[in-house]
Amino acid sequence: MINSIILVFIGGAIGAIVRELLMLGTPHLSDNFPLDILVANIAAAFLLGLVTALHTRRVISDDTNLLVGTGVMGGLSTFSSFVYGAVVLMGASTQSAVVATIYVGVSLVIGYGAVTLGMKCGKGRQS
């Protein structure tokens, strides 16, 4: 139990650092579209799908799944930032409300595709 908590703690710290680096390195768009949050969440969605598939195949251990799947991906993705970005866009103007709606839709559709792609990549070749 304590080992699991430590693995998630360490992974979460790593994921949060990677998220911050991604957010600092992602260009800001002129319409305030939260591209940095989108990039972090889509990367995390893909990697979570990949880790899940590898864990299902027993390519990675339970401990590695906790460290990366729960810890790192939990620290990298951020639902609260996702929603906050949409709320800020929504309140700015009528035009921004359209951009916010597009942001939410794009995040969901691409996020779903990223998890699916990650899982397919992690499944490997089926005999």
Contact (Cβ atoms closer than 8 angstroms) between residue 42 and residue 114? yes
Binding site listing: 74, 77
> Which has the higher per-residue pLDDT, 126 or 48?
48
Binding site listing for Na(+): 74, 77
pTM to 2 decimal places:
0.83
Contact (Cβ atoms closer than 8 angstroms) between residue 122 and residue 111? no
In tens, the pLDDT along 44-56 reads 999 999 999 999 9
- Give me the chain's average pLDDT, please: 90
In tens, the pLDDT along 73-86 reads 999 998 888 888 88
